[in-house]
């Protein structure tokens, strides 16, 4: 019986470690995007692969990932498979590859745009 409990504890520990090592799970890194007026604060974040970028949005703003071309053309068309934080929601994004991630607040284009640079 005691052996079973130890085994169960080890399996549980193993599974919980597995879970926290999943790259798409959030970790506390201090990268948080909020809004002020018609701006994302900050509008530029540098981070590493696996870091978590948290979004805390007020009801008039969303945060929709777009392609670089869309971003440069001040468009609001979402990127296929990109992150999309809805109006007034909180959420997070974990970059899994190096590169620049572009996102916009759709109703506040062309001004409300921001970037995450993953190096």
Which residues sit at the interface with Cu ion, rule CB under 5 A?
Answer: 61, 105, 108, 112
Residue 114 vs 118, nearer CB to Cu ion: 114
| Residue owning tokens 């870091």 | 51
| Residue owning tokens 């959420």 | 91
- To the nearest whole angstrom, how small is the minimum distance from the Cβ of residue 85 to Cu ion? 11
Nearest residue (beta carbon) to Cu ion = 105
- To the nearest whole angstrom, how small is the minimum distance from the Cβ of residue 40 to Cu ion? 8
Residue 27 vs 41, nearer CB to Cu ion: 41
Q: Report how far residue 62's alpha carbon sits from residue 82's, in angstroms, rounded to the nearest whole number.
A: 13
Six-digit token string for 94: 């974990």
Minimal CA–CA distance to 102: which of 34, 40, 24?
Answer: 40
Residue 76 vs 108, nearer CB to Cu ion: 108
- To the nearest whole angstrom, how small is the minimum distance from the Cβ of residue 82 to Cu ion? 17
In the beta sheet, which residues pair with residue 116? 45, 101
């Amino acid at each position: 019986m005691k052996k079973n409990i130890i085994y169960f504890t080890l399996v549980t520990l193993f599974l919980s470690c597995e879970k926290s090592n999943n790259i798409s799970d959030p970790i506390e890194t201090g990268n948080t995007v909020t809004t002020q007026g018609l701006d994302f604060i900050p509008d530029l974040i540098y981070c590493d692969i696996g870091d978590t970028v948290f979004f805390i949005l007020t009801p008039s703003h969303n945060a929709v990932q777009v392609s670089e071309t869309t971003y440069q053309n001040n468009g609001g068309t979402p990127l296929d498979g990109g992150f999309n934080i809805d109006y007034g929601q909180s959420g997070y994004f974990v970059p899994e590859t190096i590169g620049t991630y572009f996102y916009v607040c759709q109703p506040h284009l062309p001004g409300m745009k921001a970037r995450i640079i993953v190096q």
